[in-house]
Structure 1
Amino acid sequence: MNRRTLCASSAASLMSLALLTGQAAAAEKEKCFGIAKAGQNDCASVTGVHSCAGQSKVDMDKGEWKYVAKGTCKEMKGLTLDEVKAGMKKV
């Protein structure tokens, strides 16, 4: 095996491992709404107020979410996406 082939196969192996590790980590997490402090949300608001992480303006906004370890959201008094959507329909 020449050096170029060895380097290419090593790089491909490392990238595959990184992808698998990232997918496994994501599978162990869930979105938890209503627990993020201002500026500490993980992504877009459910209400469409903004579309990026770190842009929430108030603490514990029910439209903002963070990734948490699977099964811990309720312990933090957080909500699921379905609960948030159900609450939005009532208003």
Structure 2
Amino acid sequence: MSNTITRRNAAQIATGAALALAMGAALTLAASPAAAQSADKEKCFGVALKGKNDCAAGPGTTCAGTSKVDYQGNAWSLVPKGSCEKTASPKSPSGFGQLAAFKEKA
């Protein structure tokens, strides 16, 4: 009898563990900025206004909404694919958004 109970408990534990792992994976994907990026969007550095970035705002910041200044070169926002390098960025070396982080011009 205890053998049956042990097998049943082991099955319940395994099922619970699998469910917990699946839920954890789903939450991780949902919270990930990469998951939010779809095929028709791209990361554009230097176009976000202060506190309006989607992520990556350099040292001392945590992620979305943490850019310290307008057009910060290491903070990005998701924009429609193909529009980044056409979007004005006064601090960018080219004067437009960049597909990679950059040092702001003075």
Bigger Cα Rg: 2
Aligned length: 62
- Identity within the alignment, %: 42
Larger displacement relative to structure 2 (48-57 or 35-44): 48-57
1:49 is displaced (CA, Å) by 2.8
Structure 2: runs of 5+ lacking an equivalent: 1-29, 88-95
2:38 is paired with a residue of what secondary structure? helix
Q: TM-score, structure 2 length as denominator? A: 0.51
Secondary structure at the residue paired with 2:77?
strand
TM-score of the aligned structures, taking structure 1 as reference length:
0.58
The Cα of 1:59 is off from its aligned counterpart by 0.2
CA distance in 2, matches of 1:44, 1:37: 13
1:44 equivalent among 53, 56, 60: 56
Unaligned runs of 5+ in 1: 1-18
2:83 matched to 1:64? no
Question: In 2, distance between residues paired with 1:80 and 1:42?
Answer: 14
Query: How large is the RMSD of aligned CA atoms in angstroms?
Result: 2.3
Q: CA deviation at 1:44?
A: 2.4
CA distance in 1, matches of 2:56, 2:97: 17
Shift of 1:48: 2.8
Once the 2 structures are TM-superposed, how far is the Cα of residue 41 of structure 1 from its aligned partner? 0.3
Higher helix share: 1
Higher relative contact order (CA 8 A, sep 6+): 1
Equivalent in the alignment of 2:39:
27
Poorly superposed stretches of 4+, deviation over 3 Å: none
- Deviation at 1:43? 1.1
Once residues 35 and 49 of structure 1 are traced to their aligned partners in structure 2, the CA distance between those partners, rounded to angstroms, is 19
